[in-house]
């Protein structure tokens, strides 16, 4: 069997790596296509070598641009690749423009779309990621959810029927269920757990960070459009991060979108003069090491909220809502909103909850379940 996998943004390289290894094990041929949505070496290239991801057989080189242009370019270029490669199914991850364009190209060519990280919702309809993930779910044939809540979201939207179980699926059940459910929806667990488990004990150097990593510090990431694109919101967040740096060391690996905004708004020099340790985006092993040792993680990232929980670090999220509500309910994640007036107090008082952690994101074997689901596609979805 031959599948085509579409990647293009940082978290997609990280999610694709464990799956590529499993596909190889079960003898499925994978054609990896990199859309080039992310292209800086620190946002894309470094992950191939670090995570053992195979070199892409096609690089679409779309680069940055407005949503329509980026999505349209991927769609046009991917269609040609699909004609050339003749895959039996197309795999997409998450909720980026690369996800939607990949799904749309495949669905229009009558190929089954396999959506990994299906069913997530923020219920903020203006968010580009919410548009991408909802549309992708509606045109997918195989919807592989990371947790039970995502399955429930798909039931509410009528994509999954009410009989679908929301617990972690077993391999036997995959075979059985595939024969009768179209579209096929199940909870395979979160593939980020697989990737995180394989890297979290790797020790790496992080240049330019001195002794900070051995001390007491807060790790900050920021990149979402709704954080950066409104100058007042953005300035408010940066001002509070500077306030925080007066009380505790702050380490801030900066996403290129955010770096651009810092320069455009003149905030870069202000941040530079403050006591904030600004870094380039880091490799996965470096970033996981920084997360593991942080007192608290402050972020607007989806993946980072989840990894904070998995690494047992308290998280403060600079958003009004989250797709990962279980982390909030469990007491590990506080939603402070996009106008985080109380950031300093919230971070300094954030604690590890007393209750033991429960397994919110599966058992670290999502990649092998996904490979099983993919190999079942050819028998059932013709
Ligand atoms: C994208 C995804 C977002 C995901 C994030 C992961 C969409 C709509 N958004 O957001 O869901 O959380 O990736 O990191 O798909 N840039 C560079 N170099 C790069 C990449 C980007 O300079 O390698 C700059 C460009 O100025 C670009 C901007 O960052 O315009 C935004 O990049 P884009 O891919 O449009 O969105 P992200 O914010 O990265
Ligand atoms: N990450 C990384 N280097 C960094 C920052 C983040 O490797 O400097 C990893 C992080 O561990 C997580 C993923 O990138 O696995 C999250 O990606 P991002 O925040 O860009 O996107 P989101 O998850 O919000 O879509």
- Multiple choice CATH, 2-190+363-380, 3.20.20.20, 3.40.50.1700, 3.30.360.10, 3.40.50.2000: 3.40.50.2000
Phi-psi region of 36 (alpha: psi -120 to 50; beta: other; left: phi over 0): left
**Do 277 and 250 touch, CB atoms closer than 8 A?**
yes
Phi-psi region of 208 (alpha: psi -120 to 50; beta: other; left: phi over 0): left
Q: pTM of the prediction? A: 0.97
Give the pocket of ligand 1 (CB within 6 Å).
9-11, 37-40, 43, 64, 95-97, 128-129, 223, 256-257, 260
Q: Tokens 């990647």 — which residue?
A: 7
Report the C-alpha gap between 382 and 359 in whole angstroms: 36
Report the C-alpha gap between 73 and 166 in whole angstroms: 36
Is residue 195 lining ligand 2, measured as CB closer than 6 Å?
no
Of the listed ligands, the closest to the CA of 199 is: 2
Query: What DSSP letter does each residue of 303-342 carry, written as one string?
Result: HHHHHHHHTT--EEE-SS--S-HHHHHTTSEEE--SS-TT
Report the C-alpha gap between 119 and 329 in whole angstroms: 19
> What's the alpha-carbon Rg for the chain, to the nearest Å?
20
Report the C-alpha gap between 96 and 107 in whole angstroms: 17
Burial 73-83 (b: 16+ CB within 10 A, else e): bbbebbbebbe
> Which ligand 1 atom is nearest residue 301's CA?
12
Fold of 204-349: Rossmann fold (3.40.50)
Positive or negative CA dihedral for 135, 141, 146, 151? Answer: positive
Which residue spans of the chain are classified as CATH 3.40.50.2000? 2-190+363-380, 204-349
The SS3 assignment for 40 reads: coil
Residue with CA nearest ligand 1 atom 17:
256
Q: What is the pLDDT of residue 382?
A: 45
Report how far apart, in Å, the C-alpha atoms of 374 and of each of 58, 175, 319 are. Answer: 21, 11, 34
Residue with CA nearest ligand 2 atom 9:
284
The SS3 assignment for 76 reads: helix
Please name the residue ranges forming H helices in 57-96: 67-85
Is residue 303 lining ligand 2, measured as CB closer than 6 Å?
yes
Q: What is the pLDDT of residue 214?
A: 79
Report the C-alpha gap between 350 and 80 in whole angstroms: 51
In this prediction, the residues of the chain whose per-residue pLDDT falls under 70 are: 179-181, 379-382
Report the C-alpha gap between 227 and 219 in whole angstroms: 17
Residues 45-68: tens digit of each pLDDT: 999 999 999 999 999 999 999 999
Report the C-alpha gap between 343 and 240 in whole angstroms: 6
Residues marked as catalytic: 223
Report the C-alpha gap between 356 and 210 in whole angstroms: 33
């Amino acid at each position: 069997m031959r599948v085509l996998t579409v990647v293009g943004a940082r978290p997609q390289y990280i999610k694709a790596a464990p799956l590529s290894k499993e596909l190889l094990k079960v003898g499925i041929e994978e054609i990896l296509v990199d859309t080039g949505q992310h292209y800086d070496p620190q946002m894309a290239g470094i992950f191939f070598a670090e995570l053992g991801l195979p070199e892409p057989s096609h690089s679409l080189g779309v680069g940055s641009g407005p949503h329509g242009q980026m999505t349209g370019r991927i769609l046009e270029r991917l269609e040609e690749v699909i004609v050339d490669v003749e895959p039996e199914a197309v795999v997409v991850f998450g909720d980026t423009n690369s996800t939607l364009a990949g799904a749309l190209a495949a669905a229009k060519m009558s190929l089954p779309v396999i959506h990994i990280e299906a069913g997530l919702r923020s219920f903020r309809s203006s968010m580009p990621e919410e548009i991408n993930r909802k549309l992708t779910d509606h045109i997918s044939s195989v919807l592989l959810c990371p947790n039970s809540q995502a399955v429930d979201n798909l039931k509410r939207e009528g994509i999954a029927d009410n009989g679908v179980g929301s617990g972690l699926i077993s391999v036997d059940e995959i075979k059985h269920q595939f024969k009768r459910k179209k579209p096929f929806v199940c909870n395979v667990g979160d593939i980020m757990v697989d990737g995180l488990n394989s890297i979290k004990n790797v020790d790496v150097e992080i240049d330019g960070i001195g002794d900070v990593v051995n001390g007491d510090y807060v790790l900050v990431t920021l990149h979402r459009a709704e954080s950066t694109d409104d100058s007042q919101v953005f300035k408010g967040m940066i001002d509070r991060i500077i306030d925080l740096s007066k009380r505790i060391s702050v380490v801030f690996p900066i996403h290129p979108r955010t770096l651009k905004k810092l320069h455009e708004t003149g905030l870069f020099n202000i941040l530079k003069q403050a006591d904030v340790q600004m870094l380039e985006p880091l490799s996965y092993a470096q970033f996981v090491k920084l997360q593991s040792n942080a007192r608290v993680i402050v972020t607007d990232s989806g993946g980072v909220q989840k990894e904070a929980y998995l690494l047992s670090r308290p998280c403060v999220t600079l958003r009004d809502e989250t797709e990962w509500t279980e982390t909030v309910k469990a007491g590990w994640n506080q939603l402070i909103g996009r106008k985080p007036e109380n950031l300093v107090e919230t971070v300094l008082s954030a604690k590890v909850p007393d209750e033991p952690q429960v397994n919110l994101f599966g058992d670290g074997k999502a990649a092998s379940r996904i490979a099983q689901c993919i190999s079942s596609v050819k028998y059932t979805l013709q």
